[in-house]
A and B are shown apart, each in its own frame.
Chain A
Amino acid sequence: MEVLERRAAITGIGQSEVGRRLGRDPMALTVDACLDAIADAGLTRADIDGLSTYPGAMLSGAPGFSGAGITDVQDALRLNLNWYCGGIEFPGQLGAVINACMAVATGLANHVLCFRTVWESTAQGGGRRAGIGAGGGGSFRASGTMQWTLPYGAASAANWIAMMAQRHFHEYGTTREQLAWIALNARRNAARNPKAIYREPLRLEQYLAARIISTPFVLYDCDVPVDGSTAFVVSRRERARDLRSPLIGVEAVGCALHGRPSWDQFDDLTTMALRDAAKMLWTRTDLRPGDVDVAELYDGFSFIALCWLEALGFCRQGEGGAFLEAIARIALDGEIPLNTHGGQLSAGRLHGFGFLHEAVVQLRGEGGERQVAGTPAVAIAGAGGGPLGGCLLLTRG
């Protein structure tokens, strides 16, 4: 079996300004990131013949969840596209990049521009984070899958993921003190990232005393909404010569979904769909978890990153808590540096794409103060939680 994704490479990365309540047009942020990525690849817009995004333009949903769709960008940049795809029913946010890999691998496009824009911070204003269905007024009625949770006030992924964490605590004896290290490690790394939102030190006592959101989660277990856009250029390897930046190869992807695709019906609530995606990834490469030099794993809620660590085999199922306790392991100079930019918990909720961006930064050795020593050769980026998850294993060169 040919592993088709190896025909693809990430040749350009770009990112807009990232911040709280920037008050900027999300399309302007999108254009900043896209032009950045195209220039970083040493290409021009005339070279871009594919376009891919998550979740696509949305007429409903949480305010600011989608900042731009396919046609917005195609029109703004007057792209001549041979292939495009935008949507939300993907294996996680990075499913948009996996799609792009396959588009170039199969010859439908040579250079696919991938983007993800959020402006939740500006769109949701100064108030607290809204639940799903909030503001719908007295006439709002829950339908589809949301009818099974919204009538119970379970209006946020915070509730759904919290129940998974609670089950993990119950089955494996995982503790809040252990889970805390996902947040504390992210904050330490964010201190070295000038674009991160929260950079001041966070201590364990502060974490343990923080405002409860939904047990066992406190404020610091939940990511921080921001405005920002991230973009990549995914190129067919044979068309990726003479480019400006070092080429980053796609070694393997994982995009499987075997369990039931819902927040409460998944077979084993101590893990998530990312279990299936992670397992699939390792069937497509001879590399093993021990070969990975840096891990950028979704932490929309702290517990999701723990799940990714277990699912990818950095530790065994159920042992994530004990694994994290030895925080030296996941620190910048540890055996598997985790979320080196500060994750979504401290660097901001760029919704999946931030992890892949950071993986490429680290493989290129462009991490500045937060660069993992010895320049990593293999990185993993995983995004998504609950019923959606997808991951990419990347190599330098």
Chain B
Amino acid sequence: MADHLTRLLPALTPENQHFWTGGARGRLQLLGCVRCRHLIHPPAPVCPECLSRNLEVAAVSGQGIVHTFTVNHQPWYPGMATPFVVAIVELAEQPGLRLTTNLVNCAVDQVKIGMPVRVLFENRDPVWIPLFEPAF
């Protein structure tokens, strides 16, 4: 499934590097506010809660639940193998802390909103794409 997906890769920048390369060490990394501990995604130069600019890279557990999903059947560009699951996962650390991802190692008709999932990484040099799989 997702193994055969032709992926459009992200352009690495100093601001997003922690997210897209943390998988090399098995870590899902986000920005966190040093002052109020709020986790921030996507990365920003300021904490949206307390406006502190003292931010650090923080590893999160990689545990979450499926907030919503879709099974994509449309090949949007050549080489795209369908169907596959696009999901928005809410991470365990903070309400509303979400990211878009693919759900893998799960039949497309078995995905449910609320399902517990955990991160895994797919290496496409130089990036490590965070994916999620069922965490039963």
Q: Are A159 and B72 in contact (CB under 8 A)?
A: yes
Given A134-B77, A152-B86, A265-B98, A143-B69 contact (CB < 8 Å): no
Q: Are A142 and B72 in contact (CB under 8 A)?
A: no
Query: Which single member of A128, A142, A164 contacts B68 (CB below 8 Å)?
Result: A164
Q: Is A163 an interface position by the 8 A CB rule?
A: yes
Q: Are A267 and B100 in contact (CB under 8 A)?
A: no
Q: Are A158 and B74 in contact (CB under 8 A)?
A: yes
A155 to B82, CA, bound (A): 13
Q: Are B99 and A212 in contact (CB under 8 A)?
A: no
* Closest A residue, CB atoms, query B70: A162
How many A-B residue pairs have C-beta atoms within 8 angstroms? Tell me: 121
Collect the chain A residues with CB atoms within 8 Å of residue B42's CB.
145, 148, 262, 265
Bitwise interface map of B from 91 to 102 toward A, beta carbon under 8 Å scored 1, else 0? 000001011111
A148 to B13, CA, bound (A): 13
Q: Are B73 and A148 in contact (CB under 8 A)?
A: no
Q: Are A142 and B86 in contact (CB under 8 A)?
A: no
Given A166-B69, A170-B113, A147-B77 contact (CB < 8 Å): no
* Closest A residue, CB atoms, query B5: A153
Q: Is B36 an interface position by the 8 A CB rule?
A: no
Expressed in whole angstroms, the minimum distance between the Cβ of A217 and any Cβ of chain B is 8
Collect the chain A residues with CB atoms within 8 Å of residue B77's CB.
130-131, 133-135, 155
Give the residue among B10, B70, B71, B101 with the most A Cβ atoms within 10 A.
Answer: B70
Expressed in whole angstroms, the minimum distance between the Cβ of B83 and any Cβ of chain A is 8
**8 A Cβ contacts from A115-165 to B:** 128-136, 140-143, 145, 147-156, 158-159, 162-164
Query: Which single member of B5, B10, B71, B101 contacts A143 (CB below 8 Å)?
Result: B10
A164 to B68, CA, bound (A): 7
Q: Are B11 and A143 in contact (CB under 8 A)?
A: yes
Q: Are B8 and A148 in contact (CB under 8 A)?
A: no
Given A136-B8, A264-B98, A264-B100, A153-B70 contact (CB < 8 Å): no
Q: Is B121 an interface position by the 8 A CB rule?
A: no
A235 to B10, CA, bound (A): 46
Q: Is A213 an interface position by the 8 A CB rule?
A: yes
Collect the chain A residues with CB atoms within 8 Å of residue B83's CB.
212
A55 to B112, CA, bound (A): 37
Q: Is A167 an interface position by the 8 A CB rule?
A: yes
* Closest B residue, CB atoms, query A150: B8
Collect the chain A residues with CB atoms within 8 Å of residue B74's CB.
128-129, 156, 158, 213-214
Query: Which single member of B16, B68, B72, B99 contacts A153 (CB below 8 Å)?
Result: B72
A265 to B101, CA, bound (A): 13
Q: Is B67 an interface position by the 8 A CB rule?
A: yes
Collect the chain A residues with CB atoms within 8 Å of residue B80's CB.
131, 153, 155
A150 to B124, CA, bound (A): 14
Bitwise interface map of B from 56 to 68 toward A, beta carbon under 8 Å scored 1, else 0? 0000000000011
A82 to B42, CA, bound (A): 40
Q: Is A269 an interface position by the 8 A CB rule?
A: yes
Q: Is B76 an interface position by the 8 A CB rule?
A: yes
Collect the chain B residues with CB atoms within 8 Å of residue A132's CB.
76
Q: Are A151 and B68 in contact (CB under 8 A)?
A: no
A143 to B84, CA, bound (A): 23
Expressed in whole angstroms, the minimum distance between the Cβ of B119 and any Cβ of chain A is 13
* Closest A residue, CB atoms, query B108: A215
Given A166-B70, A170-B113, A214-B72, A151-B99 contact (CB < 8 Å): no
A128 to B75, CA, bound (A): 9
Expressed in whole angstroms, the minimum distance between the Cβ of A268 and any Cβ of chain B is 10
A238 to B18, CA, bound (A): 58
A sample of 11 cross-chain residue pairs with beta-carbon separation below 8 angstroms, ordered by A number, consists of A129-B74, A131-B77, A141-B10, A142-B9, A152-B7, A153-B7, A153-B72, A153-B80, A163-B68, A214-B72, A215-B70
Residues of chain B whose beta carbon lies under 8 Å from any beta carbon of chain A:
5, 7-11, 13, 16, 41-42, 67-78, 80, 83-84, 86-88, 96, 98-102, 113, 127, 129
Known: A152-B102, A214-B74. 9 other contacts (CB 8 A): A134-B76, A151-B9, A151-B129, A153-B84, A154-B86, A155-B8, A156-B74, A211-B73, A214-B71
Residues of chain A whose beta carbon lies under 8 Å from any beta carbon of chain B:
128-136, 140-143, 145, 147-156, 158-159, 162-164, 166-167, 170, 211-217, 262-265, 267, 269
Q: Which 7 A-B pairs have the closest CB atoms?
A: A131-B76, A141-B11, A134-B77, A155-B76, A162-B70, A147-B10, A167-B68
